[in-house]
Structure 1
C-alpha cells in the first residue's frame, strides 16, 4: 500500500503548488462521481481501464485502490481489461497485466 501513499503524496504536493488547478480538477471529479447509472466501483474500474489504455501506472493503481474500497469484483475488472486491450493493443496488454497483478495484490 505504500505505492498508493506515494501517489497521494505526489498529488498533494502538486495540489499545494497549483491550488486553483487542483480545485478545478476536484470539482470535475466530484461532478463525474455524482449520481448516475454506474456504481462508484464501476466508475473506478472504468477509470483504471482508461489508465491501461493510456499507459498510466499511477492512474491504474489509484483507481483500482478506490474500486476495491467500493467493492469492485475481479470479474468486472477482467471484462474491462479485455476491452482496454482491444482498444489499446500490445501496450495495453502489458498494462492490463500490471492492473490485474495490482488488483490481486491489493494495491
Structure 2
C-alpha cells in the first residue's frame, strides 16, 4: 500500500469518527453501489476511478484504483476505460488518466 493511499485512508477515518452517522450512511451506499450485478465489483471500481479522473479528484483516483486492483481488475481494462474517459473529459482527463495508470502500475 502506498504512503499516499495510507494518508487518504487516515483522513477518511478521521472524518468518519467526526461524523459517524454520515460515514455509516456513505458506507452503506458504497456497499450497495459496488455490489456485483451486470458489472463486477472490479469493473465498478474502475468506473469510480474514471469518475475521479474526470472530476479531477486525485484521492478518488488512488483510492479506487487500489480497490480495483485488489478485486482483480486488469491493466488493459483500465487502459480501455481511460481512453473513453479522455474522450469525454479532454485534457484534464488525460492528466488524471496518467495519474490513474501510475497508481495502478505502482500498486503492490
Cα shift at 1:52: 0.3
Alignment RMSD: 1.0
What is aligned with 1:92? 93
* Count of residue pairs brought into register by the alignment: 107
Cα shift at 1:35: 3.0
What is aligned with 2:72? 71
In structure 2, the gaps of 5 or more residues are: none
Contact 2:34–2:45 (8 Å) recurs in 1? no
What is aligned with 2:54? 53
What is aligned with 2:81? 80
CA distance in 2, matches of 1:101, 1:37: 28
TM-score normalised by the chain length of structure 1: 0.95
Q: Which moved more, 1:28-37 or 1:8-17?
A: 28-37
Cα shift at 1:3: 1.1
What is aligned with 1:16? 17
Question: Any idea what SS the aligned residue of 1:41 has?
Answer: helix
CA distance in 2, matches of 1:56, 1:80: 17
In structure 1, the gaps of 5 or more residues are: none
Q: Which moved more, 1:86-95 or 1:27-36?
A: 27-36
